[in-house]
Structure 1
Amino acid sequence: MKLGLFAAVSVLSMMAASVAFALDQNLPAYQPAAGITGQLKSVGSDTLDRQMEAWAKGFQRFYPEVKIEVEGRGSATAPEALVEGTAQFGPMSRFMSAGEAEKFEKKFGYKVSNFRVAIDALAIYVNKDNPIPCLAMQQVDRIFSATRKGSGGRSIVTWGDAGLTGEWASKPIVIYGRNSISGTHDFFRQIVLYDGDFKPDVNQEPSSQAVVQHVAEDKFAIGYSGIAFKTDGVRAAPLSVNPGGQLSVNPGGQCHNATLEETIGGKYPIARYLYVYLNKKPDEQLDPLRAEFVKYILSRDGQALVEQEGYYSLTNEIREAELRKLGLSPPER
């Protein structure tokens, strides 16, 4: 089984050598600019909704007169808002699809821009009382997928099918996931289910928080969501990649947790960058308001809020690359 790390982009090995397993102390503190006023609107990812709110509030402490509105119903709403000009920022928990990007380019005559803002481990949540010690990725496919392209074999319907015994053996697995406008839904389907189909009995929820809440309330439930949505009522099940695909309580491969170390180190098998998309003409500088908000997000102040919200922060190396990409090269240190 192949790994879908960071949306199938093999960057983890390059990052592992240089990343610090905490907020990178090389990240510079945000330096406010003079004369920043105006209004911004962000439309897009539910996964990044709380994060965008946190960045907006932090930014407004430097610029009390700036107004920022955040709407987070799902990644699929971001491209349309950027095309229609109803938002300046479009946070997404997945890459913009070829069709979405083409629609933008057709209207404006140039490609849409994006920048990385955080790292997420996509967790497979079980109830806190569930004793499952580890799940193989093949098992996850067989639990969630009707087509089982990543595993083959029979569907996993009960917790006994997944290897549990006793009272758990006969209990049906109640499955929760995100709805179809969610970037997390699309990412999970593409990477974990190999572009397969979800089972029809997957309960599709409008928010990541709702998925986790249902799993916390149902002893026999399972669901997927970003690591930042973890609560005391759930566990993020350790995951393994088992080439043989055998089903057992000990899936055969080494089990890895959705921690910072194992995510950045390339061991945890479901990880991704989170993005913010925006409309930037390639031959023009960003306006001062948008430029400063980008700089704030990528500063030590902004990345500290990433860790506060439960995601994993970027390195200064990544920050500098993203600023250069947007024509906002950082000053020499």
Structure 2
Amino acid sequence: MKAGRYAALLAAALVPLAAFAQEGAIPEPKPLVARYRAEDGRLTIGGGPEAEQVAGAAAGKLTARISGPDGAVPLLTQGTVMLAILPRTLTAMESAVVRRFSGGVPFTLPLMQGLYAHLRRDAAGTVDARALPIAASLLAPGGQTALTRSLPAYKPLSPEKLDEALQALSALPGATYAEAGSGYRAKDGTLAIVGSDTLTELLPDILQAYARRAPDVRFTTDLRGSSTAMPALSAGTSLIAPMGREAWQNDIDAFRQVKGYAPTRIRIAYASHGPRPDGKTPPAIYVNASNPVSGLTMEQVRRIFAAGADGGDIADWGQLQGAPHSDRSAPIHVYGARDDGGFGTAMRLSKLDGLPFSARYRSMASGKAILAAVAADPLAIGYATWMDAGDAPAGVRVLPLSKRQGSPYVLPAADGHRGEWPISYFFNVYVDARPEPGSGSRTAPEAKALLRFLLSDQGQSIIARHSREENGYLPLDSANLAEERAKVEAL
């Protein structure tokens, strides 16, 4: 097979995976930097224990950082390792995250049967030129012999697969990546913040106000999406991880593999409000517009969407007051996001007490697909993620919810009841708070000071001024604010 054709086929196979679970359009790419040169001049690769053997087979040119298969991906994303050595290909979610930050679909190179090296590519499809001769040496006879000897659990590539890998590698263009420091503090003392693209107007305003209080502290921001925030925090290249959603389980698992403990979450504001014609509606439960049910309690939500909730499953509309059909056997058709480690999994873990989805749950590819199904089905109910104004069809409505039986039904509107919306999502800031002996933790003092400002009366008033924007956040109510201030003081 011709090298160009093989590379094109490989890229084409990966693109649908990278398109999966994206947070909108890929942002404008920036030049990639390399943070993986060790003090002795060797280049750092990461992954599970196999990374040590791969480094050993590279004739002294590589050093290994054992970070686990999940933890290696955020390090690769941020350029803290040059190669991610994994005993598997990248998941769709991982490929999407790497691409969102680097601009290009990551390149996967088989080293042995079942063992792969993953490289970043920029928007032009280039990889770090220094990686090319090293990767080629691992596929050369001497490299394959060394890998086979040190990794007996893996079989060498067949001659055909080896030839295909070499051709694909030879077709890759190389570029010189500028080198950068390994942490979040630049040489001039500036502190980097990597995070959500929903904060492109709000966060600069907050940091400008903070600069008047702390003029000696300066920040640079790289706001390309929530999916880029946790990899940067895991790699130590961002002071904090500001996100417009909760960290997904794969985010937390990767951080835990790198650090050995979980990140700490601080809620700063309520994420979005609606329904409204000029902004995003936050995650909500939708029913067909013809459905007369006035609202649900969270107990009922769990019994509809999950299996095994207290009180038993609710399978028929007749089990609810104000059912859309007099026939008590009219089934509830349940729609929602896929349980793939992204929004659907995070919703299940945080809003459904970690229970498995109901056997009646129908997984859909996107929020728009969920609402289209609900609009077409009078017996439907759907749990959808953030929806842009105009994306919700006319045949659906947001269902009011209550935290418990007897509490009023509310919508996620910009009024005094926003804190009562029981499936609230937040502007979250995740921080690296390393557990200390006893009950304490160690957090960067600059991070703690910034969190204090975000939760101060001044910080919350700035958030309120931006509330009418498309991604408009709302300040916390007094109860949630007191909880988060106490968490920060305990850091």
Deviation of the 1:66 alpha carbon: 4.6
Is contact 1:227-1:311 (8 Å) kept? no
- Would you say how many aligned residue pairs link Structure 1 and Structure 2? 263
Aligned to 1:118: 269
Is contact 2:298-2:403 (8 Å) kept? yes
Tell me the amino acid that sits aligned with residue 133 of structure 1: S
Is contact 2:269-2:426 (8 Å) kept? yes
Q: Identity of aligned pairs, percent?
A: 19
Deviation of the 1:123 alpha carbon: 2.7
Deviation of the 1:68 alpha carbon: 2.4
Distance in 1, matches of 2:488 and 2:327, equals: 56
Matched, 1:51 2:198: yes
Unaligned runs of 5+ residues in structure 2 are: 1-187, 212-218, 272-281, 435-441
Aligned to 1:305: 466
Matched, 1:173 2:327: no
Aligned to 1:189: 348
- Name the SS for the 1:116 alignment partner: strand
**Relative to 1, partners in 2 of residues 1:178 and 1:293: Cα closer, same or farther, differing over 3 Å?**
farther
Tell me the amino acid that sits aligned with residue 301 of structure 1: I
Aligned to 1:248: none
Question: Which residues of 2 match residues 258-273 of structure 1 at below 5 A?
Answer: 258=411, 259=413, 260-264=415-419, 266=420, 268-271=421-424, 273=426
Is contact 1:241-1:254 (8 Å) kept? yes
**Relative to 1, partners in 2 of residues 1:214 and 1:81: Cα closer, same or farther, differing over 3 Å?**
farther
Is contact 1:36-1:66 (8 Å) kept? no
Aligned to 2:142: none
Deviation of the 1:82 alpha carbon: 1.8
Q: 2:292 aligns with which of 131, 150, 158?
A: 131
Is contact 1:137-1:240 (8 Å) kept? yes
- Name the SS for the 1:261 alignment partner: coil
Distance in 2, matches of 1:134 and 1:291, equals: 36
Deviations 1:11-49 (A, max 9, x none): xxxxxxxxxxxxxxxxxxxxxxxx99675321xxxxxx5
User: What is the TM-score of this pair, normalised by structure 1?
Assistant: 0.55
**Relative to 1, partners in 2 of residues 1:307 and 1:81: Cα closer, same or farther, differing over 3 Å?**
same
Aligned to 1:68: 222
- Name the SS for the 2:324 alignment partner: coil
For CA contacts below 8 A with separation 6 or more, give which structure has more relative contact order: 1
**Relative to 1, partners in 2 of residues 1:140 and 1:116: Cα closer, same or farther, differing over 3 Å?**
closer
Deviations 1:29-77 (A, max 9, x none): xxxxxx99675321xxxxxx563344246469889x955232234xxx7
**Relative to 1, partners in 2 of residues 1:180 and 1:117: Cα closer, same or farther, differing over 3 Å?**
farther
Aligned to 1:199: 358
Tell me the amino acid that sits aligned with residue 241 of structure 2: F
Deviation of the 1:319 alpha carbon: 6.4
**Relative to 1, partners in 2 of residues 1:58 and 1:219: Cα closer, same or farther, differing over 3 Å?**
farther
Distance in 2, matches of 1:187 and 1:129, equals: 29
- Name the SS for the 1:257 alignment partner: coil
Question: Which residues of 2 match residues 263-302 of structure 1 at below 5 A?
Answer: 263-264=418-419, 266=420, 268-271=421-424, 273-279=426-432, 282=442, 284-286=444-446, 298-302=459-463
Q: 1:222 aligns with which of 381, 388, 395?
A: 381
Deviations 1:204-260 (A, max 9, x none): 445xx54675367535442224688676644221235776xxxxxxxxx55511244
**Relative to 1, partners in 2 of residues 1:280 and 1:192: Cα closer, same or farther, differing over 3 Å?**
closer
Q: 1:84 aligns with which of 209, 222, 235?
A: 235
Is contact 1:126-1:235 (8 Å) kept? yes
- Name the SS for the 1:143 alignment partner: helix
Q: Return the index of the structure with the highest Cα Rg.
A: 2
Q: 1:148 aligns with which of 291, 296, 308?
A: 308
Deviation of the 1:125 alpha carbon: 1.8
**Relative to 1, partners in 2 of residues 1:274 and 1:185: Cα closer, same or farther, differing over 3 Å?**
farther
Deviation of the 1:176 alpha carbon: 2.0
Aligned to 1:235: 397
Deviations 1:138-157 (A, max 9, x none): 44234322x2323314533x
Is contact 1:150-1:192 (8 Å) kept? no
Distance in 1, matches of 2:482 and 2:352, equals: 34
Unaligned runs of 5+ residues in structure 1 are: 1-34, 43-48, 244-252, 328-333
Distance in 2, matches of 1:241 and 1:284, equals: 36
- Name the SS for the 1:196 alignment partner: coil
**Relative to 1, partners in 2 of residues 1:166 and 1:36: Cα closer, same or farther, differing over 3 Å?**
farther
- Name the SS for the 1:82 alignment partner: helix
User: What is the TM-score of this pair, normalised by structure 2?
Assistant: 0.41
Distance in 2, matches of 1:217 and 1:225, equals: 13
**Relative to 1, partners in 2 of residues 1:326 and 1:261: Cα closer, same or farther, differing over 3 Å?**
closer
Is contact 1:307-1:313 (8 Å) kept? no
Distance in 2, matches of 1:143 and 1:306, equals: 32
Tell me the amino acid that sits aligned with residue 285 of structure 2: I
Structural RMSD (CA):
5.0
Tell me the amino acid that sits aligned with residue 475 of structure 2: S
Deviation of the 1:277 alpha carbon: 0.7
Tell me the amino acid that sits aligned with residue 285 of structure 1: P
